[in-house]
Structure formats: structure tokens, C-alpha cells
Chains A and B, each alone.
Chain A
């Protein structure tokens, strides 16, 4: 009886291993395809009718960053720099907004607190880009459309509405800490900077990384704001422009190389962030 049970378990586990392996293969293989073909040497700048490339070269990456390819408006290094600058600025502004709002709503008590939270929740329920047209004209009235400043404003202005996760973290820090500090004569400002913030490293890192990754992965906002001013594109819309019928024939391999250049750093940052996120959510309660 025991033996058959054991045998059954082994069969079940083997089956599970096989299923998991096949699924992982399905999930990972597109990225392997992307990686391999971004180094493909032969076959010109179009898709080929086989899966594994025959020769490998760095030429696609060199072409991508030197702007070789025939059209001056396809300028990947510029797009990369644009995205980096936008990401840095919006990261700083968003982080400040998110931490300020979530800290206030979580640990300070004032009359309009509940009301503000409800308003924030309702605002979050409108489809995001419903306001885009209005936003576009507003920025136009300020003379900012099709600039990077407009993009920074778009990414960071609504950041304060995404307070839920860090508020959840701040909620878990025991209030006794604040009370003890108040008895010792600290004011709210000192409590924020000297007590709560130093022990909130996971959530701060999480907020910073989310805000930094945002501009790299966003597609739609950048598309609406930038229109056809290609020199101000971010990597997302730039790569999409490369896949349009107009360019795909000359830029297919550069597009693959560009995707790798964006995906690798973002993936590493994301995996980093995941660690802090888990730490932030689970470790908060224990800390006090």
C-alpha cells in the first residue's frame, strides 16, 4: 500500500515537473527568440523563416546606437536619454508626492482625511486617458506640448493618487512609536524624518523604483503628448514607431536589439523591486 502510494506520488511529481517545464518554455521562449535574433548576423533586416539564427554579430546594437539605418528621425540613443531624464525627474517628484500623501493619510489625523481618501479613490476609477485630451489642451495653453517637461508633468502629477500601497505600509508601524517621540518633545516633522522614514526603507525603495520604471514602460501617454515629434520620443513609442509598416523593413533587427536594451535593465530593476515589495508588505508589522 505504502509502496503504491509512493509510486503514485513520484508519477504525479514527474508529471508536474513536465508540465511546469513545458509552461516555462512557452513563457520564456519568446524572450529567448528576441535575444537570439537581436544578435542575428545574416538574413537582412527582415523576419526569417527559421527559428534559430545561423550567425551572430554585435552589428545590430552598433547600428542601433550609431543611428545607421537610413532615416535620421530614428535616433535610439536620443530616445534612451530622453526616457532617462524624464524618468529621473518624475521619479523625484512622484516619490515626494506619494510619501507625503500616504504618510499624512496614514499617520496624521485631521478633519478632511476620510474625505480626501474617498475623493482619491473616486478619481482613480475614471479611465486614465479620458482626461488626456483636456490635459493635452491644458499643456498646449501653457506652451508645453511635445516637450519632455510635459511628459514629466504627466507622469508625476497624479502620483499622489497612488498612495494605497505605501499607506498600507505606514499603517502597520505601531502608533506607540509616535507617542513615545511626542512625549520626548519631538514635533511631527521630526517624527517623520527621524523615526518613520529611516524604518521605511523598503517602501521608499519600492516607491522610487516604481516611479523610475513608469516612464520606461508607459506607452500611451507619451504617444499622445509627443505626436510626431520624433526627437522627443521615449523608448516605448520609439520602438513602436520602428515596427510600423513605414520602418519595419529596414529596422527589424534594430528593433529587436532596442527591445533587449530596454527590457534587460528594467527586468533587473523589477526583480530588485519585487524583493523590497515583499519585504515592505510582510516585514512592516514585525518592525515595531
Chain B
């Protein structure tokens, strides 16, 4: 389609065109993504190669103290008179050695097998005594911890060598190493980012990255209720079970069913909120409508109330003798119809969840849309009026294209948000109605609530739960990457500064 042809389309056709283009572009975008990944990998390995080269070159050029730094941290710095840094380097090596000898190695040596000795009961003639065997979970957890600590020590090691060599060069040039006071000053100026970031980064490493590595590893084990203390590496078995449709494995049936419903849910929830929210926002912002801020505030209040309050309330109101049924009874001659909104009927429950989600979600759309509507340049409307455009024409030619253009990235973000929309499902229906067809899930469960059930509910299968987590991550990451690549504010960080 040429540019001129495109320009002749009306906004809806353009939207459809762009929508189609988006999906037809996915293969080429994927290709670009993969080639970018390839370039990244190549860059990574050349980086490693360069690192090794520097490692060797520095060793050859180094004097005896620098050479000794390859074995004992901090010798180079101590020799060149940078005492405090040398001592710190040395201490880190000693601490690491102590950690490995007394704690780390004992766990890491079992890492390849995840433990072999089962817990058993032994009788000493009178009572049964439990002889604890290996605990695979602890082995995996502490091995991961050791892995992270080793990575940190490796970075310190490299820094130690670089620093030793730097000081050697400085001495050759007749320069004196900086004092502690000067260094402290530097941490408030040139290296200020280290001062600011080290605490948050440390917290994130321990409580986000470490658990994440642990859980990714769990996806390749058979950690479940049946294998609680002692479990094994099983490779890709968990992923295999999820896609094992041919043997109609119960887990595969559950996965396909839930993935299907997750998709329906995410599409319906996203578009219903988007369209209805846009309609209401347009009504509130229409010229001549008074009390704009009152309307907006009334809707915003529903966002402000904590979600668990409003969702638990909704859950109570949708019960058989709850407020909604009583209200419907008013039209039924005072007779309570007793509709079981969250009962055994799958589609009644699903539709209820989607309608309540509209109730929860539309105010968010109204809020963001109002902001965008107020930002449409007024002169666009003015020139349209001068040209004699009717209100309908102004709407279809200016307002609608502008809104669709600005909010498309938001649409995808919301889609990702809905795939991860845990609260609405969990607090409202709890995944019910329950079914025996599914493995540890109900008919309104989406992938993330299933993940929760598999780790906290009755059917505990941590390996499977992690595998689902990874799949959800892949879906969300792909969608987010598309948004990220298209969003201007990411490309153009310094547009305003």
C-alpha cells in the first residue's frame, strides 16, 4: 500500500491496516530480534576473549607484586602503598575461603546430584529415630547462594588485578597513589553512582535475583509434593508434560485449557476496558458537559479504594443472597432470583469475572484517557472549525486517530497486565468452579493463579509451577519488547533535558 492510498483511508481502516501490519510484521521483527540476540552473543564472547587477553597481557607485563596478586588478592596494592584497599582485597579473599571451606563447598559438591541419601527411620530397640538425609531444596538454595557469592568474588578478583596493574603503571610514571580521604571524596563525586546504587543493588541481588535463579533451576527438577525432601534433575520433563497433548496428559489438558481462557480473558478484559473507558472519557470531556472534575473524582475513588476491599466486597455482594441478587429481586416483584454468579456454571462465572473486571478497570482507562484528551492541541480543532468540519467529522478525523495513535503502546501494556491479573481472579472467584478435568486448577483460573495454586495450593508441584512462570515470562517479555522498541520516550531519554 502506498502512502497516498494509506492517507485516503478513514481512521478505522487505518487502525485495521496497522493492526494487520503489526501481526504480519511479527516474523520480521522476530528475525531482527534473533539477529540482535546473535550480535549480543558474539559481542559477549569477544568481550570474554578480550578479558582473557588482558588477563594474560597484564600478567606478562606485571612486576612481582602484580604477578602475586593473581594468587593473593591485594598484594599489588599493598606493595604500591595503597594499604587500605590492599587489606580490603585480602580480607575478601580470606572471607571467601573461609565461607567455601566451612559452608559453601559442603553444599556445592551435592549440586550435580541434588543429594542421594534419603531420610530414614531407624529403630534403636525402643523408639523410632529419624535419621535426616539430604535435603535437595537446601542444597539447591545454598548452591545458588554460593554461585552468586562466587560471581561477586570473581568481579573483586578482576578488580584487584586491574588495580594492581594500574598502580604499577602509576608508580612507573612517578605518580603517588591516592589517599583514603581523596578516595572518599571521589565517592561523593565521580563515583557517586556507586554510593547511591550499592544498597539497592545488593537488596535486589539477594531478594530478587537469587530467588529467581533458584526458581529457574527448579523448573528443571521434579520438586513436588511427592518428591519433597529429595528430588532430582529431570531436564525438560516439566515443559514436556505441559505440551504433551498426544497422550492427553492431565497437565497438558489443563495447560491448554487455561492458556486458552487466559488468552480470551486478556483480550476481552483489555478491549472492553479500553473501548468503554474511552467512551466514558469522551463523554466527560465533551464540550458543554459541566462538573467535569466531579465526574472524574467519582470514578477515581473506585481506584483509590484498595483492590482487595472492593473485590472482597464484590465477592460478598455476588453471593446467592448478596446485594446484587437482592437488587435484581426488586425488578422481580421482591423475589430474590438467587443467581449463582460464581457458582458451578463455567460461563456465568467467567462472564461475571469479566464484567467485574470492567468495573475495576474502566476508571483507570478514564483517568489516563482524560489526560490524553486534554493534551490534544486546541488549534487542531480550531482550524477544523474554520474549515467548516462538523462535530462528527472533527471526532473521526482528529480525536479518534489521535487517541488510537497515542494509546496503542498502552494497550499492549494493559494486555500484559491482564495476563498477570492475579487479584481479580483470585479474590473474586478463587479460580472456581472447581473441576476434576484440571490438575490443581478451576475453570476461571488463569496461568498466574494456576502457578500460585501449584506452589501454595493442594496440588503442590513446584517444578511445573516454575516452568509455567518461565512460559509466562517469555510471553510477557516478547510483548513488552515490542512496546519498548516502539516507545519514543525510551529511545529519546534526553528529549527534555
Which of A's residues lie within 8 Å of B, judged by CB?
Answer: 9, 13, 16-17, 19-20, 23-24, 26-28, 30-31, 33-34, 47, 49-51, 96-97, 100-101, 103-104, 108, 110, 113, 116, 121-123, 125-135, 137-138, 141, 153-154, 156-161, 168, 171-175, 187-189, 192, 216-217, 219-220, 224, 236, 239-240, 243, 259, 262-263, 266-267, 270-271, 274, 278, 284-285
Enumerate chain B interface residues (CB-CB to A < 8 A): 137-138, 141, 185, 188-190, 192-193, 195-197, 199-201, 203-204, 206-212, 214-215, 218, 280, 283-284, 286, 288-289, 295, 297-310, 312-317, 319, 321-323, 326-327, 336, 359, 363, 371, 420, 422-423, 426-427, 448, 451-452, 455-456, 462, 465-466, 469, 472-473, 476-477, 480, 484, 489, 493-494, 496-497
**Cβ B189 vs Cβ A187 within 8 A:** yes
CB-based contact A97/B199 at 8 Å: yes
Q: Is the pair B201, A160 in contact by a Cβ cutoff of 8 Å?
A: yes
Inter-chain CB contacts under 8 Å: number: 237
- Most chain B beta carbons < 10 A, residue from A127, A192, A243: A127
Nearest chain-B residue to A242 (Cβ)? B312
- By DSSP majority rule, is chain A's interface helix, strand, loop, or mixed? helix
Interchain CA distance A100-B185 in the complex, whole Å: 18
With contact pairs A20-B295, A133-B462 given, residues A30 and B288 touching in the complex (Cβ less than 8 Å): no
Find out whether the CB atom of B301 lies under 8 angstroms from the CB atom of A31: yes
What CA separation (Å) do A284 and B495 show in the bound complex? Answer: 13
Contact of B323 among A51, A103, A126 (CB under 8 A): A51
Q: Which residue of A lies closest to B298 (CB)?
A: A24
B210 touching A51 by the CB < 8 A rule?
no
Q: In the bound complex, what is the Cα–Cα distance between A154 and B371 (angstroms)?
A: 33
Contact of A239 among B218, B286, B309 (CB under 8 A): B309
B contact face: mostly helix, strand, loop, or mixed: helix
Query: Complex Cα distance A26/B289, Å?
Result: 20
Report A241 CB to chain B, min CB distance, Å: 11
Name the residue of chain A whose CB is nearest to the CB of B492: A171
Candidates A34, A116, A160, A216; contact of B313 at CB < 8 Å = A34
Inter-subunit contact B300/A24 (CB<8 Å): no
Q: Is there contact, CB below 8 Å, between A220 and B426?
A: yes
**Is the beta-carbon distance between A216 and B306 smaller than 8 angstroms?**
yes
CA of A196 to CA of B243, assembled, Å: 53
The 7 closest A-B pairs by CB, nearest first: A134-B211, A160-B200, A157-B207, A270-B304, A130-B469, A131-B211, A188-B192
Q: Which residues of B contact A51 (CB under 8 A)?
A: 323, 326-327
| Chain A to chain B contacts (Cβ below 8 Å), 12 pairs | A13-B288, A17-B289, A27-B363, A47-B322, A103-B196, A131-B214, A157-B203, A168-B489, A187-B185, A217-B308, A263-B305, A267-B304
How far apart are the CA atoms of A132 and B209 in the complex, in Å?
12
User: What CA separation (Å) do A150 and B327 show in the bound complex?
Assistant: 44
Contact across chains for B496 and A285 when beta carbons are under 8 A apart: yes
Q: Given contacts A27-B363, A130-B451, A187-B189, are A50 and B326 in contact (CB under 8 A)?
A: yes
